[in-house]
Amino acid sequence: MAKSNIAAFLCGLLFSIGLGISGMTQPQKVIGFLDVFGEWDLSLAFVMGGAVISYFLLQLWIQRRFSTPMLGETFQIPSRKDLDRSLIFGAVLFGVGWGLGGYCPGPAITSLGSGSVNAVLFVVAMGMGMLLADRVISPILTHQALKS
Amino acid sequence: MTEFEVAMPLAGGILIGIAAAMMLLFSGKIAGISGIFGGMLFQQGEERTWRSAFVAGLIAGGVLLYSINTEYFENSSGRGLVAVTIAGLLVGIGTRVGGGCTSGHGVCGIGRLSARSLAATVTFMVAGMAMVALVQPLYH
């Protein structure tokens, strides 16, 4: 197995430990964070804050110190700057699903390790939703954008 | 507002940030979970392999956490099988069309000061808050 795959496995492992100890794998905590008009639970704001600040500092250091990744050829960083309809429409649908189920993709996949039936159903449905997006919804959005 | 925790969420968040930065350092990739999962499903060859390894790592971490303390996966949200299935479908469509989720846009994107990711994150948070305001009364 290539070193880069072992690295990816270890990053996934560490990522899920972070999700677990932070509380992200408990849907009621996620829902509590989003419940601003109800029993608002601010805890998860610290997850986001800790993750964003540590990633910001580390990526700054990595980009300055390394011209290529340690086990790869190039840094693959998104370069788009425009705000388009797909971005916002997609984010709305994601947010609605997140609030309904209390799972976003990382915690749901991590929760497969607990044998949770809810998580299994969520992840299978998520895969089907992605297929639907690729085959049906994104082509329609692209077609409409070209017409207008 | 209810009582909230600081230490463990912050520690977990920092671990998430470190894991995502390690992905950048080693492989030069953005650790966006929805993109990694989607790529695992729809791409082939090497592009599929590393993504599968990452997803396997996530699940292995879940197994490890569950063996340490099952409370990491406590679910008192009241959400049933129909709700989580619809939620999964919406999250799948939304992250694919919108190009990312909490990790790709929320952590890595904002952490690179990307305006697109900031716009996406504000949008999915507001949409999530609106949805919870709408459905949460049904679960009390």
- Range A56-75 average pLDDT: 95
- Range A35-46 average pLDDT: 94
Nearest to B57 by CA among A17, A8, A9, A20: A9
> Is B61 in Cβ contact with A91 (below 8 Å)?
no
Q: For residue A129, give the nearest of B13, B92, B109 by CB distance.
A: B92
- Range A44-62 average pLDDT: 97
Residue A15 pLDDT exceeds 90:
yes
Identity (one letter) of the amino acid at A96? V
Residues in chain A closer than 8 A to B92 (CB atoms): 97, 125-133
For chain B, give every domain's residue range: 76-140
Residue B128 pLDDT exceeds 80:
yes
- Range B35-56 average pLDDT: 96
Is the model more confident about B75 or about A79?
B75
> Is A48 in Cβ contact with B127 (below 8 Å)?
no
Complex confidence, ipTM: 0.97
H runs (alpha helix) in B75-114: 81-98, 110-111
Return the pLDDT at A125: 98
Question: CA-to-CA distance for B24 and A141, rounded, in angstroms?
Answer: 31
Is the model more confident about A87 or about B1?
A87
CA distance B126 to chain A (A): 7
Question: CA-to-CA distance for A29 and A8, rounded, in angstroms?
Answer: 28
Identity (one letter) of the amino acid at B137? P
Looking at chain A from residue 93 to 132, which residues have their Cβ under 8 Å from any Cβ of chain B?
A: 93-106, 108-119, 121-132
- Range A40-55 average pLDDT: 96
Question: CA-to-CA distance for A57 and A74, rounded, in angstroms?
Answer: 20
H runs (alpha helix) in chain A: 3-22, 27-34, 43-65, 85-101, 105-111, 117-132, 138-147
Question: CA-to-CA distance for B13 and B1, rounded, in angstroms?
Answer: 22
A70 DSSP 8-state letter: T
Residue B37 pLDDT exceeds 70:
yes
Question: CA-to-CA distance for A141 and A74, rounded, in angstroms?
Answer: 31
Residue B20 pLDDT exceeds 80:
yes
Interval A130-147: pLDDT, tens: 999 999 998 998 888 777
Return the pLDDT at B6: 92
Sorted by sequence, the CB contacts under 8 Å of residue A9 that are 6+ apart come out as B53, B54, B56, B57, B60
Residue A148 pLDDT exceeds 70:
no
Q: What is the average pLDDT score of chain B?
A: 96
- Range B52-80 average pLDDT: 97
Residue A1 pLDDT exceeds 70:
no
Q: Let me know: does B57 contact A4? Beta carbons within 8 Å.
A: no
